[in-house]
Amino acid sequence: MNVELRHLRALAAIGDEGTITGAAAVLHISQPALSRTLEQLESRVGVRLVERTTRALALTEAGQRLYERAHLILHQLDDALAEVAAGVRPLRIGFAWAALGDRTVPLLRTWREEHPGTPLRVHRGDDPEAALRRGEIDAALLRTMPAPGAGLEVWPLYRERRLAAVPEDDPLARRPAVRLADLADRSVVLCATAATTAGLWHEGRRPRTFEVANVDEWLTVIATGEAVGVTAEATEHSHPHPGVRYLPLSDAPPVTVRLVWPRTPAHPATLTFLDHLRDMAHDMTGAESLES
């Protein structure tokens, strides 16, 4: 197809910026030149990648798939060139909310002690699964299952309990624990990465729900009394908030914490890190370990 790196960079920038104007500015080329590059790419792959109207621009389904692959290829190239110049780069681990809660710092310290030649960096983002598919990170800690067909390996590590998050002045905040039924007549704020779904409640007793984009918005909505929330245990450690009280949710099923990585690992230490996590999960107390 004679697709060149400049074509992939063009599509990646268009998908990131959402406009030809913004993408052209990022790439330091003119808008007509970027439009011609996009047209060349669509001609060579034989499908439309971007839907363009006078008011909006959006990737097609095929464009979205190629956009993520383009990011992955470009990141892999950048990594390869950096490793030639400076040696093996740090192992990058992504997470959405709380990594491993109070186990995060011990994990990082023991990794540094046992693998001093391989630095480890953690990256918090609103969508670590997407970052993983684009090659921005090497593995991710998730409390939700990745989308099927994403080309990812999944290893369950352990289970942790769910907590309710309520405003500190809410009557529920005085209780030692709550049940799902106690929240059913409230508004419940959801976030796609927070392991909370309306499916926790039985049909007919589901609360009103609405969604926010990230943990900061989630905490603010709860602290101001607009809603209550449900989350995993690690959130209490990683995101204490003066206006939010965390309570055990006694009848909710636990959350499974998973390590997810590409089927072809992007970093040579990925599987070593999995072994490190498995050893940690096997030894820790206060969580339900999972044995393969």
Looking at residue 193, its pLDDT comes to: 64
Q: What residues form DSSP beta bridges with 202?
A: none
Contact 277, 142 (CB under 8 A): no
Domain boundary among 83, 116, 135: 83
* Angle of the 20-27 helix axis to the 31-45 helix axis, nearest 10: 100
Would you say how long the chain is, in residues?
A: 292
Residues 204 and 218 reside in one and the same domain: yes
The DSSP annotation for 153-173 comes to: EEEEEEEE-EEEEEETTSGGG
Alpha-carbon torsion angle 246, 252, 255, 256, nearest 10: 160
Burial level of 285, CB count in 10 A (0-12/13-18/19+)?
exposed
Q: Which residues contact 238 (CB under 8 A, 6 or more apart)?
A: 97, 98, 99, 101, 104
- Specify the CATH number for the domain of residue 203: 3.40.190.10
Provide the number of structural domains found in the chain: 3
Residues 203 and 278 reside in one and the same domain: no
Q: To 5 degrees, how large is the angle CA 239–CA 92–CA 73?
A: 130
Looking at residue 283, its pLDDT comes to: 67
What's the one-letter identity of residue 148?
Answer: P
Residues 132 and 271 reside in one and the same domain: yes
The Cβ of residue 260 has, within 10 Å, a number of other Cβ atoms equal to: 20
Looking at residue 234, its pLDDT comes to: 92
Q: To 5 degrees, how large is the angle CA 248–CA 122–CA 12?
A: 115
Residues 35 and 145 reside in one and the same domain: no
Looking at residue 134, its pLDDT comes to: 86
Of residues 282, 6, 258, 271, the one with CA closest to residue 150: 258
Looking at residue 42, its pLDDT comes to: 93
Residues 155 and 263 reside in one and the same domain: yes
What's the one-letter identity of residue 45?
Answer: V
Looking at residue 170, its pLDDT comes to: 96
- Specify the CATH number for the domain of residue 38: 1.10.10.10
What's the one-letter identity of residue 286?
Answer: G
Looking at residue 176, its pLDDT comes to: 96
Residues 114 and 172 reside in one and the same domain: no
Residues 150 and 31 reside in one and the same domain: no
Tokens, residue 254? 């636990």
pLDDT tens over the chain, length 292 residues: 789 999 999 999 999 888 898 999 999 999 999 999 999 999 999 999 999 876 778 999 999 989 988 988 888 888 778 777 767 789 999 998 888 889 899 999 999 999 999 999 999 988 899 899 888 999 999 998 888 877 899 999 999 999 999 999 999 999 999 999 999 999 999 986 666 677 788 877 889 999 998 889 999 999 999 999 999 999 999 999 999 999 999 999 999 999 999 988 889 899 999 999 998 877 654 456 565 4
Residues 104 and 132 reside in one and the same domain: yes
> What is the distance in angstroms between the CA of the first residue and the CA of the last residue of the chain?
43
The sign of the torsion formed by the CA atoms of 93, 99, 100, 105 equals: positive
Residues 153 and 170 reside in one and the same domain: no
The residue range of the domain holding 132 is 88-159+255-289
The Cβ of residue 96 has, within 10 Å, a number of other Cβ atoms equal to: 24
Residues 170 and 244 reside in one and the same domain: yes
Domain boundary among 60, 83, 106: 83
Domain boundary among 83, 106, 127: 83
Q: What are phi and psi of 242, to 5 degrees?
A: -60, -20
Q: What residues form DSSP beta bridges with 189?
A: 210
Looking at residue 292, its pLDDT comes to: 41
Task: Give the whole-angstrom CA distance, residue 104 versus residue 237.
Answer: 10
Residues 202 and 239 reside in one and the same domain: yes
Backbone torsion region of residue 151, taken as left when φ is above 0, otherwise alpha when ψ lies between -120 and 50, otherwise beta: left
Residues 125 and 236 reside in one and the same domain: no
